[in-house]
Structure 1
Amino acid sequence: MELTQDWDKTFPKSDKVDHGKVTFTNRYGIELAGDLYTPKGEGPFAAIAVSGPFGAVKEQSSGLHAQTLAERGFVTLAFDPSYTGESGGAPRNLASPEINTEDFSAAVDYLGLLTNVDRERIGILGVCGFGGMGLNAAAADKRIKAVAATTMYDISRMMAKGYFDSTTPEQRADQLDQLSRQRWEDAAAGKPSYPPTALQNVTDDMPRFVKEYADYYTREESGFHPRSVNSNAAWTTTTPLSFMNMPLLSYIDEIAPRPTLLVHGSEAHSRYFSETAYENAAEPKELFIVEDATHTDLYDQMDKIPFDKFTSFFSENL
């Protein structure tokens, strides 16, 4: 695996931490690429694995979160999920509730083997869709001592029920029928099909949150990155199949007695995902609302992202 060594992030490089490109392998044999951010000084340190948003790469929001938390004293690992970015896996731009959950645990594997990390003090932070993956990983992987999810999406709920749970049973059945038949077309072609790049074709009549996504992912001065699925590509057409039938957060209450922090913007269209997760989680848990913040504000707006809250949460619980 050849990794880009140039600084190609959407945020400035910090001189307060050390940075290096790393690779590690998940349980399915897929090699993952990550950016390791290390505080100055001697360890052992607490560590945090970071990934997301869904369709983003480590050079975007997750890297910004990871670098900033490293400045605050944590070893952090921002990684590209399987099949995306610089990570391995074929076909490209494929997502899976199981494999992407496993990616977090593989990051914990890697962090726990570092000599400057205290393996009993490892947490995870998931952004957007990987907030849901992170919660799912923490429910099963008892090595994870604390989990935070910010501007969280439950991708399985969204794909199974639509935005705001608006999909009817008839619409769900029709979608599953189309996706199932698409498998024959893909099998005949010997490769998966991909829909058009949605965020490159946003119109004025689309919902505000879609425009906010486009504003972040497609503008060079914002969050555009050439390896990001959401910036200039698309997920495989059949990616929704497994998410529609495999709910991510069925066992969220089993994260306890380890703590859960859910962070969301007061103006985010996706706020209901965190509110439901909070209702279903067991104590200790906290829902922290950032006033006047939209969904994408918590991707990269330094005056909105509650880094003090993340720092206190992980400092107290790792």
Structure 2
Amino acid sequence: MSDYNDADDHQVSSSKALASRALDAGRRDLLKKAGAGVALYGAGAMFNLSRAEPGTKTVNTSREWDKVFPESDKVDHRKVSFQNRYGITLVGDLYSPRNAEGKLPAIAVSGPYGAVKEQSSGLYAQTMAERGFVTLAFDPSYTGESGGEPRNVSSPDINTEDFSAAVDCLGLQPGVDRDRIGVIGICGWGGMGLNAVAVDKRVKAVVASTMYDMSRLFARGYNDSVTLEQRTQTLEQLGQQRWADAESGTPAYGPLMNELEGGEAQFLVDYHDYYRTPRGFHPRAVNSNGSWTVTNPLSFMNMPLLTYIAEISPRPVLFIHGENAHSRYFSETAYAAAAEPKELMIIPGASHTDLYDQMDIIPFDRMTEFFNQHLVA
């Protein structure tokens, strides 16, 4: 793990992703039959087999503040890099309480799915640092400033490992008590975080905020609406896409994320209002300025992330979800499968994206109490 300051080696010019604007009528019909569910995260792109280049990976090596939230004067911040178990270099923002002394508890933070550390995870990390924790918000492999090729792809295994690598990084910090480390996973990284904590016994407590189970989403669609016939058809098309990718030597990319054409469900409008407006836009985020590979869903479709969620116990789990979130059922199902000690906190009136950045809605007080109680040596 090292400070990230090698500007000369990592300067990369950025280019905006090119993507097709619409699916044809037959593909739209197929998506509707599949519950329109997986379209948001790229499984909809599996029906669009045209090619589009991803946004080129860029690295911010300056000390200028490049987050979508204001910088706190109560926190010290620096960029760090570290490697996961597969040798991929990850980049993160390390936040520490200003003028802190002694060894402090620490929290690794990532998500949402398709976001970067300059968005929600950084906001969570900085806020929890204000409350006495050393925190690390990081870009998962293949996204943001972190390494990995091709760009804009995800993996239930490698991205689970990313959380454990972040724990490695935190535990090597001289101001961190490595026996008092927790995890916060947001949206799709809520499921990844839970999966990581189930296998990584070093982590003492975990929060899953506005959680998605990405393997369930890709395999079954929203609200488990995809039939076996539709799943089989999807896998057939993905197999054909693999031939096309192999022939070209590069992966195809789906449509630009979170564009609106009119008539979308409210939760899709909510995603647009976060990722594609000044509220949360960041040029390195897949969801703001790029697209996933068309074959991105493959490994998730037969590798359930939360198979061993009960093995997090006896370490505690706190699930946080909005009352009006379209994704609420993911947390409710995971909560039912988890073992005690566990807590499900439903935020009245909140949507899925409210828990990305709405400071008057995200229950930071409860998270602080939770980690203060459970991050004990």
- Give TM-score scaled by structure 1 length: 0.98
Give the one of 35, 48, 52 matched to 2:107: 48
Task: Give the structure 1 partner of residue 252 of structure 2.
Answer: 193
Aligned length: 316
Shift of 1:206: 1.2
Q: Relative CO higher for 1 or 2, CA cutoff 8 Å, sep ≥ 6?
A: 2
Pairing 1:240–2:297 present: yes
Task: Please list every run of 5 or more consecutive structure 2 residues that lacks an aligned counterpart in the other structure.
Answer: 1-5, 11-58
**Amino acid across the alignment from 1:306:** P
Task: Please list every run of 5 or more consecutive structure 1 residues that lacks an aligned counterpart in the other structure.
Answer: none
Pairing 1:167–2:226 present: yes
Secondary structure of 1:275's counterpart equals: helix
- Which has the larger Rg? 2
Pairing 1:8–2:66 present: yes
Query: Structure 1 residues 116 and 198 mapped into 2: Cα distance closer, same or farther (>3 Å)?
Result: closer
The within-5 A match list for 1:127-206 is: 127-200=186-259, 202-206=260-264
**Amino acid across the alignment from 2:74:** K
**C-alpha root-mean-square deviation of aligned residues, in Å?**
0.7
The separation in 1 between residues aligned to 2:336 and 2:295, in whole angstroms, is 31
Give the one of 82, 88, 93 matched to 1:35: 93
Task: Give the structure 2 partner of residue 257 of structure 1.
Answer: 314
- Give TM-score scaled by structure 2 length: 0.83
Task: Give the structure 2 partner of residue 72 of structure 1.
Answer: 131
The separation in 2 between residues aligned to 1:300 and 1:182, in whole angstroms, is 36
Pairing 1:118–2:177 present: yes
The separation in 1 between residues aligned to 2:255 and 2:174, in whole angstroms, is 45
Give the one of 333, 339, 342 matched to 1:282: 339
Shift of 1:180: 1.2
Q: Deviations over 1:188-210 (max 9, x none)?
A: 0001000111312x132111101
Shift of 1:43: 2.3
Amino-acid identity (%):
67
Pairing 1:24–2:82 present: yes
Q: Deviations over 1:38-87 (max 9, x none)?
A: 01221200000000000000000000000000000000000000000000
The separation in 2 between residues aligned to 1:116 and 1:241, in whole angstroms, is 40
Pairing 1:104–2:163 present: yes
**Amino acid across the alignment from 2:354:** D
4+ long deviations beyond 4 Å: none
Task: Give the structure 2 partner of residue 305 of structure 1.
Answer: 362
Secondary structure of 1:198's counterpart equals: coil
CA contact (8 A) 2:116 2:138 kept: yes
Secondary structure of 1:105's counterpart equals: helix
Secondary structure of 1:199's counterpart equals: coil
Q: Deviations over 1:94-125 (max 9, x none)?
A: 10000000000000011111111000000000
Task: Give the structure 2 partner of residue 296 of structure 1.
Answer: 353
The separation in 2 between residues aligned to 1:180 and 1:17, in whole angstroms, is 48
Task: Give the structure 2 partner of residue 225 of structure 1.
Answer: 282
The separation in 2 between residues aligned to 1:122 and 1:35, in whole angstroms, is 16
Q: Deviations over 1:244-263 (max 9, x none)?
A: 11000000000000000000
The separation in 1 between residues aligned to 2:111 and 2:257, in whole angstroms, is 19
